[in-house]
Amino acid sequence: MTTTDIHTGNPTTADAAGTWRLGDRTINRLGFGAMRLTGMPWDEKPRDRDDAVAVLRRAVELGVNHIDTAAFYFTATRSANELISTALQPYSDDLVLTTKVGPARTRDGEFEFARPEQLRSQVEENIRQLGRDHLDVVNLRWGAGLDKSPGPVADHFGVLAELRDAGLVRHLGVSNVTAEQLREAMSIAPVVCVQNRYGLTDRADDDLVELCGEHGIAFVPFFAVAGAAPGEVEQQGQAELAAVAQAHGASPAQVRLAWSLHRGRHVLAIPGTGDPAHLEQNVAAAALRLTADELALLDGLGRAS
């Protein structure tokens, strides 16, 4: 599909997907994920710093006002938080920065999980790197990818609730959790978002998406288009996906993003990239409207997986 509005000739902007109230902040449902800004660990060389800064500034120009980041998004020479701070300060009043705590990375790049008493220092690290006096939204990142269980969600989420009460954090969310863990967190403090791996052909959390909708909680899928590793894109249903994309003059990636946004008004999107052209394609997906028949076809692909 074209990346410009057919009526005005201007670039499609993120507000084309509508808005969501994240706590007391209104954001466009099409946002931006900062993980790929620094380049990925397997890249032969770091992503160009000027390109990363340009992508962030262009994202905001295109109406993106929700950026997802974390202090552990870094390579040997790049930090996502530092790039955001450099590119976007002074921050606009409507920009919402969401970050994650829980995991930390050693100098060797290995992940370790914070004890509850270490979470304050992680929150303060994000505040310092981003140049803020508080954080808009902090997600407690949980679950898979860790060598051992961090313990009960309540022990960690309770600390974040205390930091929220102290004014360091405005709103709280959880990431990579089960429905039971979400309910555990909700019993301690309000949860404004859940960030889990989810996509067209990665549908283990269908019930959790519905649960979030019932409680007015934003569901924010990561890896909705592709996985973390090179070439990690589900091959199932590629012919059907390609047919829907062709009907709209769109790419399969844009259809995947549009499908995610069609899952409910509470579902957000945070596709990430370090390429300006790819950014505009992602934002253009905000305007892609799938028909009932197309949605039924695509839904069938996921349920068959």
Instruction: For residues 10-33, give the mean pLDDT.
Output: 95
Please check the confidence at residue 230 and state whether its pLDDT lies above 60: no
Task: For residue 77, name the pLDDT band (cuts at 50, 70, 90).
Answer: confident
Lowest mean pLDDT among 56-65, 89-98, 146-155, 295-304: 146-155
Please check the confidence at residue 260 and state whether its pLDDT lies above 50: yes
- Name the pTM for this structure: 0.92
Domains and CATH numbers, the chain: 14-303 (3.20.20.100)
Question: By three-state DSSP, how is residue 67 classified?
Answer: strand
Structure confidence at residue 235 (pLDDT): 59
Cα(58)–Cα(276) distance, integer angstroms = 7
Cα(253)–Cα(135) distance, integer angstroms = 31
CB atoms closer than 10 angstroms to residue 252 = 18
Best CA proximity match to 28, nearest among 67, 2, 1 = 67
Residue in the block written with tokens 């100098």: 107
Task: For residue 305, name the pLDDT band (cuts at 50, 70, 90).
Answer: very low
Verify whether residue 91 is a known catalytic residue.
no
Query: Of residues 73, 74, 198, 222, which has the active-site annotation?
Result: 73
Token reading at 72: 């552990």
| pLDDT, averaged across the chain | 90
Please check the confidence at residue 33 and state whether its pLDDT lies above 70: yes
Please check the confidence at residue 234 and state whether its pLDDT lies above 60: no
Task: For residue 304, name the pLDDT band (cuts at 50, 70, 90).
Answer: very low
